[in-house]
């Protein structure tokens, strides 16, 4: 079985590298986009199993990316996890309405990132503390 593919749409190089290293160490294949337009283009090109999406992006924010993804039946089925420094219930609710499956606030702990990725991909959780950040209760 091949590794799951994860698109990281993040303009901060350090955040991108940190997520990449943690995901790669857990047998996920990652690729990147640094702005809204290239995020959609990379999703179209690679058809990832999951998208990790920052909200604060050049060329259109993460909400615009989710809007563009939702407008394309080929891309609309890809689950999106928002990873953002934009905190608060208003952003969480807006992300949920836009189709996000989960919302993680930066800075994200490695275990938290992996738990949410696994849950969103429908994989069995690893033993340890239960971390659930889905948007079902909003």
Could you report the per-residue pLDDT of 106-116, keeping only the tens digit for each?
Answer: 999 999 999 99
Identify the pLDDT of residue 138.
44
Please check whether the domain covering 5-120 is classified as CATH 3.40.50.2300. Answer: yes
Instruction: Select the more confidently predicted residue: 80 or 1.
Output: 80
For the segment 4-52, what is each residue's pLDDT rounded down to a tens digit?
A: 999 999 999 999 999 999 999 999 999 999 999 999 999 999 999 999 9
- Does position 1 have pLDDT exceeding 90, yes or no? no
For the segment 40-98, what is each residue's pLDDT rounded down to a tens digit?
A: 999 999 999 999 999 999 999 999 999 999 999 999 999 999 999 998 899 999 999 99
Tokens of 121: 């991909």
Are the C-beta atoms of 45 and 71 separated by less than 8 Å? no
How far apart are alpha carbons 69 and 99 in whole angstroms? 10
Q: Domain-by-domain residue ranges, the chain?
A: 5-120
Instruction: Select the more confidently predicted residue: 129 or 33.
Output: 33
Which has the closest alpha carbon to 55: 68, 40, 47, 65? 65
């Amino acid at each position: 079985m091949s590794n799951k593919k994860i698109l990281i749409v993040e303009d901060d190089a350090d955040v991108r590298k940190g997520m990449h290293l943690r995901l790669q160490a857990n047998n996920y294949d990652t690729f990147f986009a640094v702005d809204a337009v290239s995020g959609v283009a990379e999703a179209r090109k690679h058809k990832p199993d999951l998208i990790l999406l920052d909200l604060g992006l050049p060329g259109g924010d993460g909400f615009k990316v989710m809007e563009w993804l939702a407008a394309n039946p080929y891309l609309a089925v890809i689950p999106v996890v928002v990873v953002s420094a934009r905190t608060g219930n208003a952003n969480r609710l807006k992300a949920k309405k836009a189709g996000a499956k989960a919302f993680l606030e930066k800075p994200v702990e490695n275990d938290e990132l992996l738990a949410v990725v696994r849950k969103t991909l429908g994989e069995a959780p690893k033993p340890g503390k239960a971390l659930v950040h889905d948007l079902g209760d909003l």
